[in-house]
Structures are given as C-alpha cells and as structure tokens.
Amino acid sequence: MKINKKTTRIIVALLIFFIGYLFPREDYKMYCHLFAYILAGYDVIIKSVKNISKGQVFDENFLMCIATVGALALSDVAEAAAVMLFYQVGELFQGYAVGKSRNSIKELMDICPEYANVERDGNVERVYPEDVEIGEVIVVKPGEKIALDGEVVYGESSVDTKALTGESIPIYKGKGDEVLSGCINLNGLIKVKVKTSFDNSTVSKILELIEDSADEKSVTENFITKFAKVYTPFVVAIAALLVIVPTLFLKLDFNTWLYRGLLFLVVSCPCALVISIPMGFFSGIGAASSRGILIKGSNYLEMLSKADIFVFDKTGTLTKGEFKVSEIDCVDIERENLLEIASYIETFSTHPISLSIVKEFGKEIDITKVKNFEEISGHGVKGEVFEMEVLAGNERLMDKFNVPFEKKDSTGSVVYIAINGKYAGCIVVKDEVKADSLETISSLKNMRIKTAMLTGDGKEVAQEIGEYLGLDEVHSKLLPKDKVDLTKKLMKGGTLCYVGDGINDAPVLKMADVSIAMGGLGSDAAIEASDIVIMTDEPSKILTGIKISKKTIRIVKENIIFSLGIKAGVLILGAVGIASMWMAIFADVGVAVIAILNSMRALSVNNKVLNNNDSILKI
C-alpha cells in the first residue's frame, strides 16, 4: 500500500491511541484518545459538514459523525476513537482495493501511444499522434507502439496485436498491409502511411468505448443506486424511533438505547453494496477487454448471461468470409472477358464475394471505365463497364431486371452476370466454415440456448452449413428487411443475442437485446453498431464472454447476500444488546472491503476453466 499523507496520519493516530493505554491516569488516557480521534477523523467531520451544507445529508460521513459524537456524548472517548480509527483503516484498505482494480484495467487498456515519429522535409520528428495529418508517413521502430492506423509503405516486421485482440501470436506485416494503432512493432523498422486521424483511429475508438462503458449501468446497479437513496433516510428515521420509543414511552435507559440507535445507523450504511457492485461489473468488463472482447456497458454484460437465443449471420461470422472463385460458367463470352467485366463492376463493393472476384482477376483495374455504379441492397450491383450495362448479383437481381437466366445448382454462392440485358454466365464462389464455429454452436446447445442463422445466401448453401453446425433454425435468401422481421419474431422466445459483422447487419444489431460484432479489428461500423465487439474472428470468444458474464453476476450476488446477511446479523445482536460499535464498523467498512476484494475476482478468469465448456453450465 502506498504511504501517503493520509496513511501517515492514520498510523500516527493509531500509535497515540495505543500509547494512551500506557498512562495510569484516566485523564491522560482520555486526552490521548481524544487527540487520536481528532487526528484520525477531522476530515470525516469536515466532509460531513460540507455535504450537509449542500443538502447531501445521508451519507457515510454523516453516519460516522453521528455514531462517534454520540459515543463522546456518552463519555466513551476510547470507543469513539477506536471506531473512527477502525473506519479510517478500513477506508485505506478499501481505497487500495479499488485502486488496484482500476489500475489492472488501466494496464490492460494501456494501448494509447504517447508519440509518433513522422517524416517531414527529410527529417524524422517526434510529435503527438494528434498532430499527424492523414497521408503523412510515420516511422515505427522495433518495440514501439504503432501510433495511427495506416498502410505499410516500407519494410517488414511482426506485429503484436495482443492489446487489441487478447491474442499474443505475432502477425507478419509487409509492404501494402494495413496496421492498426495500439499494436506493437516487434522486430523490424517499418514506415506507415497514415490513413485516419488519431481521433478516428482504432485505439481512440476502443479507449472511448471502455471509458463510456461505465455510463451504461446494469439493472442490478440501477436498482442498488435507487435503493440506497431511499434506504438511508429510512434507516435514520428507524434509528431515531429506536431511541425515542423505548426511552419516552417505555421509560428505559436513555444511554443504552442511544448507543443501540447509533449502532443501528452505522450497521445500516449501504456502502458495501453501492461500491462493490459497480466494481464487480467494472472488473468483469476489464477481464473481457483483456481477452479481446469489448463490452460497452455493464447492462450488456448482465444481459449476455441471460441470453436464451443466439442468432448468427453467416458470412464473416460463422464462416471465414474469405471467398474463392471455384467455377465460372460462360454464355457466348470468353472466360477471361467475363471475369474481367465482373471484376470491374465489383471493384467498388466491399462485400467479401466481390473482393474474391477482383482477387481472382488479379490485374490492375482502371476505375474510370466504371460509371453509374449502384449497389442494390440484398440483390447485387449494377453499372456501366466499357460502356456496357452490367448486372452482377443473385437470382433476385436477374428477376428484378427481367433477365432470363440459367439457374445454377451449387452449394457455393452464385453471382449471375448480365451484359446489356442479356445473361452472360455466372461465377461460383465458396466460403469456409471457421474452425471454432462447430465448437461454439455445440457448447451453446449444451447450455440449452437456441441457435439460428439468418443469411441472404441461397437455400442450398445455408442448409449445408446449418446441418454441419447443428443449428436449430436456418433462414436463407433474406433481404435486410426480412432479417429484421424474423429477429422480431425470434425475440418473442426470450432474450436474443444477435451476432453479425457490424456492417451489413446494423438494423438487426440495433434492435437485438444484445448485439455482438465479430472481427471488430479496424471496423468502425462494428464498434458503432453493436453492444459487444469481439476484436478477433473467433466465434468461440462468445463462450468466453458468457463465462465472464456469469462469473461476474455470481460475484455480484455473493456480495449482495454476504453484505445483507452480515448486517442483518449484527442488527439483531445490537437490538438485544450484544453487538458493540466495533462489530457495527466491521459490518459497514469491513464488509465493504471484503465485498470489493471479492469483486476483483472478476478480473481473473482461469483459462483452463474457459476451455472447459461444461464448467459454464455449473455457474
């Protein structure tokens, strides 16, 4: 524990308190204890007076003042000093525990670069990342953090993305590859052409997300906050009645019942719940962040533990989204010509299927040859290529423009192409299922969670993947509106979690109870549209998220039961005259410290347990 002025003051007060017992005379003993009380508790008294002047009467400082001043009024100076010292020592440990928890999360998210080496006029200048303009080139030496998102224009190296993804496996980056801010350059000097400003960089968006997560409170947190506001004035009134009724109406000893009333006040302070519960959720969010799972608020962490239905998009979520051209059918046109025309019209689309066609063509594309490009949602693309009207998309696109075509039976995704209103052939591309998709679906089903897949792909492709993974429901050939309608229907069956790529599924991600964006690395849309962002492309991270959420909720419940149980026990003992003010302070500050330390357990989730899917069921 760090030794600061307050810690030193409390240590000195403790020494004076114990020295008092060395004096045989009672007046010397009393002076020592009174001085120890003032030295240890003057800040508490000052805070209480200031808060009362602001109208904030019923807080912990007020309760401590009432309890200790009452003890002084009863001529029990030693107990007043002891209670204040016990309280302040508890506060020190509580502050240490909270600080350690916050520092753990700060270390996990300490990815913000402090400087950037930028090339200007033939020289390399060290500047703040905020001062680097888009288009400038930064130099990143081995061991340095990459300051801004951009493209490697010189050199090659391995990059550590652990701060963003939670994975420690280095990734090779060479000329033409994109790199993200917050990652660490491991072994080679590289030069990076900046593509985004610092405010819009990956690292800034992630840090903003983590900072904002504290504003989104869970149902449990909201309840406790409202509960404390009503609860504290209520217990003050009860404590007053506890003193007034026995002494005025039953003619019992005033000092005895004043002491019990003061004890009741101290025990009833709800600080253990008010502090430890948000700390538990904060720790859970930190644990998830360290594993590449960014959760925007404790409400989403809590909802994840209650999910009844998981609905998945297909492309880029359950499958790799890395399409490869497997077949090209031509009608009255050469294969290379059809592929060239398809590549030109698809060059403006960012859809994985479009990118795979352009990649298969493998030649430089003159974008000036493409005019009047238009992307038709749920259908495909249209435009002019080499002054020819070209359509490229699914069956619905051909039907929309009344183009007769030959339907292709394939388990891959089929892109039909029409030139000047005439069917010219089709290109078949296939996607691969991710390595851990089967494990993820199987584990969710073992947890008795319903699974479904919504996709715009054809029935054959969807059914093949659905049967392989063992999904409960598969819905294919869907337009964006169809996905919204089906999601509304599925939400009637319970708490629904939708998992998509965060780009094409924005309407559904927004309406789901909990939305998860897969592969959030470098995707602004993923971070903006969803409640939870998985920074890698691993569906199995969903299981990790569920594990962390369930552990966090369990810890929060433990704190509630433990705090209320101890307080109830001490209140009963106090009512019958057994409990002392020392026990009351333990029921307040001691319980708060224990509850906070328990909350910190959410920061650490055993990897062995994470790999054991059965363990998730036992929580």
Cβ pair 48, 64 in contact under 8 A: yes
Distance CA 472, CA 518 (A): 21
Distance CA 227, CA 274 (A): 9
- The neighbouring-strand residues paired with 145 are 184
| Token pair recorded at residue 3 | 């030794």
> In terms of Cα–Cα distance, which of 523, 601, 518, 524 is closest to 555?
601
- The answer, yes or no, to whether residue 212 has pLDDT greater than 90, is no
What percent of the chain shows pLDDT beyond 70?
A: 83
- The answer, yes or no, to whether residue 59 has pLDDT greater than 80, is no
Q: Active-site residue 313, yes or no? A: yes
Higher pLDDT, 106 or 65: 65
- The answer, yes or no, to whether residue 316 has pLDDT greater than 50, is yes
pLDDT value at residue 612: 45
- The answer, yes or no, to whether residue 184 has pLDDT greater than 50, is yes
pLDDT confidence bin for 405, thresholds 50/70/90: very high
Percentages helix, strand, coil for the chain (3-state, rounded to 5) are 55, 20, 30
326-384: per-residue pLDDT in tens? 899 999 999 999 999 999 999 988 777 888 899 999 999 999 999 999 988 778 999 99
Higher pLDDT, 312 or 212: 312
CATH architecture of 324-430: 3-Layer(aba) Sandwich (3.40)
Higher pLDDT, 200 or 346: 346
Q: 226's torsion region: left (phi>0), alpha (psi -120 to 50) or beta?
A: alpha
**Element (H or E) spanning 392, and its range?**
strand 388-393
pLDDT value at residue 613: 43
Least confident of 14-18, 59-63, 138-142, 566-570: 59-63
* Mean pLDDT in residue range 266-295: 78
- Strand 116-120 to strand 370-376: parallel, antiparallel, or no bridges (unpaired)? unpaired
* Mean pLDDT in residue range 390-411: 90
Distance CA 198, CA 440 (A): 36
* Mean pLDDT in residue range 38-44: 90
Residue ranges per structural domain of the chain: 324-430
Distance CA 576, CA 578 (A): 6
pLDDT value at residue 615: 37
Distance CA 463, CA 221 (A): 43
Return the C-alpha torsion angle 282, 285, 290, 294, nearest 10: -140
pLDDT confidence bin for 219, thresholds 50/70/90: low
Cβ pair 296, 532 in contact under 8 A: yes
Distance CA 73, CA 256 (A): 12
pLDDT value at residue 34: 92
Sign of CA dihedral 406, 408, 409, 415: negative
* Mean pLDDT in residue range 398-425: 91
Q: What are phi and psi of 467, to 5 degrees?
A: -70, -40
Sign of CA dihedral 599, 602, 287, 270: negative
Distance CA 619, CA 617 (A): 6
pLDDT confidence bin for 16, thresholds 50/70/90: very high
What lies within 8 Å, CB to CB, of 421 at 6+ separation is: 389, 401, 403
pLDDT value at residue 502: 54
What lies within 8 Å, CB to CB, of 124 at 6+ separation is: 117, 118, 139
* Mean pLDDT in residue range 484-502: 88
What lies within 8 Å, CB to CB, of 168 at 6+ separation is: 160, 162
pLDDT confidence bin for 101, thresholds 50/70/90: low
pLDDT value at residue 312: 94
> In terms of Cα–Cα distance, which of 233, 364, 211, 408 is closest to 295?
211
Q: Which amino acid does the sequence have at 438?
A: L
Least confident of 236-240, 370-374, 543-547, 613-617: 613-617
- The answer, yes or no, to whether residue 418 has pLDDT greater than 60, is yes
Q: Is 114 exposed, middle or buried (0-12, 13-18, 19+ CB in 10 A)?
A: exposed
Q: Rg of the chain's alpha carbons, rounded to an integer?
A: 32
Sign of CA dihedral 20, 23, 25, 31: negative
Long-range contacts of 463-471 (CB under 8 A, 24+ apart): 464/411, 465/314, 465/318, 465/319, 465/433, 468/433, 468/438, 469/318, 469/433, 469/437, 469/438, 469/441, 470/438, 470/441, 470/442, 470/445, 471/312, 471/441
Distance CA 431, CA 343 (A): 18
Distance CA 398, CA 41 (A): 80
| Token pair recorded at residue 511 | 């309406």
What pTM does this model have?
Answer: 0.66
* Mean pLDDT in residue range 64-86: 78
pLDDT value at residue 614: 40
Q: For helices 60-73 and 254-268, give the axis angle rounded to 10 degrees.
A: 160
**Which of 313, 501, 537, 588 is labelled catalytic?**
313
* Mean pLDDT in residue range 274-294: 80
Mean pLDDT, all residues of the chain: 82
